[in-house]
A and B are shown apart, each in its own frame.
Chain A
Amino acid sequence: MVKQIIVASGLSLVGCAGAQIAPEKFEESQASIRGAEEVGANDVPAAKLHLQLAKDQTEKAKKMSAAGDPAAELMLARARSDAELAVVLSREDSIRQEAVKATEDLKTLQDRGNP
Chain B
Amino acid sequence: MSSHVLNRCFVGWVGMSWIAGCAAVPPKELLDARKQYEVSSTGPSAKLTPTELYEAKKSLTKADEEFDANGDTQAVRDYAYIAGRKISLADAKARTEADRQKATAAAKEGVGFRDAQVKSTQTALDSSRQEVQDLQRQNQANSQELETEKRGRMSAEGKLAGAIKDLADVAAVKEEARGVVITLSGGVLFASSKDVLLRTAQTKLDQVAEALKAESEDKGIVVEGHTDSRGAETTNQELSLRRATVVRDYLVSRGVSSSKITSKGLGEGRPLVDNNTAENRANNRRVEIVVAAAP
Partner-B contacts on A (CB < 8 A)? 1-2, 5, 50, 71, 74-75, 77-78, 81-82, 84-85, 88-89, 91-92, 95-96, 98-99, 101-103, 105-106, 109-110, 113
Contact = CB atoms under 8 A, between A and B. Distances in A.
* Chain A interface mostly: helix
Contact of B89 (A2, A88, A101, A105): A88
Interface string B100-132: 101100110110011001000000000000000
Contacts of B103: 95, 98-99, 101-103
A99 B6 CA distance: 68
Please provide the 6 A-B residue pairs with the shortest distance between their CB atoms, ordered closest to farther: A81-B85, A102-B106, A74-B78, A99-B103, A99-B99, A102-B103
A89 B90 CA distance: 10
A103 B88 CA distance: 26
Contacts of B113: 106, 109-110, 113
Nearest to B98: A99
A29 to B, nearest CB: 13
Contacts of B110: 102, 105-106, 109
B85 A85 contact: yes
Given A85-B92, A95-B103, A99-B100, 15 more contacts: A1-B3, A2-B6, A81-B86, A81-B89, A84-B85, A88-B89, A88-B92, A88-B96, A92-B99, A98-B99, A98-B100, A102-B103, A103-B103, A106-B106, A113-B113
Nearest to B110: A106
Contacts of A95: 96, 99-100, 103
B7 interface: yes
B106 A105 contact: yes
B190 interface: no
A44 to B, nearest CB: 11
B95 interface: yes
Contacts of B79: 74
A106 B109 contact: yes
A82 B3 CA distance: 49
B93 interface: yes
Contacts of A91: 96
Contacts of A92: 92-93, 95-96, 99
B82 interface: yes
A102 B107 contact: yes
A103 B117 contact: no
A85 B109 CA distance: 32
A105 B109 CA distance: 11
B186 to A, nearest CB: 82
Nearest to B4: A1
B42 to A, nearest CB: 21
Contacts of B18: none
A81 B118 CA distance: 50
Contact of B106 (A77, A82, A103): A103
B54 interface: no
A84 B75 CA distance: 20
Contacts of A71: 74-75, 78
Interface in B109-161: 109-110, 113-114, 117
A47 to B, nearest CB: 9
Contacts of A106: 106-107, 109-110, 113
B89 A85 contact: yes
Contact of B93 (A1, A88, A98): A88
Interface in B1-58: 3, 6-7, 10
A111 to B, nearest CB: 11
Contacts of B250: none
